[in-house]
Amino acid sequence: MVALSTPPPQQPSSTTTQDGTISTLHPDILQTHILTLLDGPTLAATACASSELYALSTEDKLWRNICTSSWPSINDPTVSSIISTFSSGHRSFFSDSYPLLHHHHHSSSFLTTSTEYLVSAVDIYYKDVAIFSKVEKNETLTDWFKCSPFRVDMLEPKEFVQTLIQYQTGEKDSFVKQLEENMTLSWILIDPKRRRAMNLSSGRPVSVQRHWLTGEVVVKFATIMAGDGGEKEFVECGVMVCCGKKEGGEMEVREISMGMEDMEGRNLTGKESLVVIQEAMERGERRKGKCGTEGKGRYEEFVERKRERKARKQKMEKVLDMVCIVTGITIFVSSWSFILFS
């Protein structure tokens, strides 16, 4: 009697690795109901698990949803069109724009390229609720841009943005602390020609100050980047958000601007800023970090270095003044001695 062998049961479609099965779910279910729940860093880590997960995790639709939920401003048609030219679409854009940006060393061999314009995509949140989203396009070819101080304004002089944040006139320190803990900002700068982007914000504020007379509150975000040596050993890219009280007690945003200055406190021109921006965009590292904690620490270190640099400069100037005075007195005495004894 011949024993009949039982055929092995048919295995369901699954995503596998060399070590075995990691999921018996159909790829469509995995992609639609699981991968859509992941944030950017987790999705990127998932893509490294296997070739099958890589194929599922690199779908542009997944990354587009992550990007637009993180930065509503990029729904703008101009930005969407630029992102479509990136090497891996929204995945490349997220990789470029996810904070924090670290750029500590300037290379003299780096070659800049002319670009017609830069695009700023700005989003401001308060308690994880978007209170401002806008895209601004700035040309970079005119002599006016190259020679003038680099500055990008997201609002016109008399324009303002209404918010539902209650402006607190009493307990000054409490309101300042409330803004420092709950306001976040993303300022993504995009170079269409290089197909690169970077986030110029520290995430959370590095300082919040209220003017004693007008009551206006200035919330500052900053990123420190390597300059090109000399006075621009390091440069600060600062974003200022000015808020004030409107009738009814709510707070309104009256100014959102970005500029760059060196360690001497001098504003960089458009031409100088473009050199720093393009190298940081191309060679800067993007690291996951605690927004506000690390960014504020780097800003405070930059401010301390500026203070020390200024103190050394003042000391040197005093020494030079003393040398000039002594030299002048010596010449004066020598001249009179020559006259008296000649």
Q: In which residue ranges of the chain is pLDDT below 50?
A: 1-20
Centroid of chain to Cα 43 = 22
* Block residue for tokens 């940006």: 101
Residues 243/217, Cβ–Cβ less than 8 Å:
yes
pLDDT at 2: 38
Q: What is the pLDDT of residue 321?
A: 83
Model confidence pLDDT, tens digit, residues 258-282: 999 988 889 999 999 998 999 889 8
How is the chain split into domains, by residue range?
A: 26-76+83-92, 99-308
Query: 47-52 long-range CB contacts below 8 Å, 24 or more apart?
Result: 49/17, 49/22, 50/15, 50/16, 50/17, 50/22, 52/15, 52/16, 52/27
Which among 209, 203, 202, 216 is positioned nearest to 255, based on CA atoms? 216
Dist. CA 169–CA 164, nearest whole Å: 15
pLDDT of residue 291: 53
> At 304, which amino acid appears?
E
Would you state the torsion angle of the CA atoms of residues 79, 81, 87, 92, taken in this order, to the nearest 10 degrees? 30
Residue 120: its pLDDT value, please? 96
Q: How far apart are CA 155 and CA 290, in angstroms?
A: 29
Nearest to 222, CA basis, from 149, 274, 154, 298? 298
d(CA 74, CA 72): 5
pLDDT digits (tens, 9 = 90+) for 150-173: 999 999 988 888 887 877 666 557
Quick one: pLDDT at residue 7? 45
| Predicted pLDDT of residue 331 | 84
User: Which tens digit of pLDDT belongs to each residue from 76-107?
Assistant: 999 999 999 999 999 999 999 987 788 777 77
pLDDT the model gives residue 311 = 80
pTM summary value? 0.81
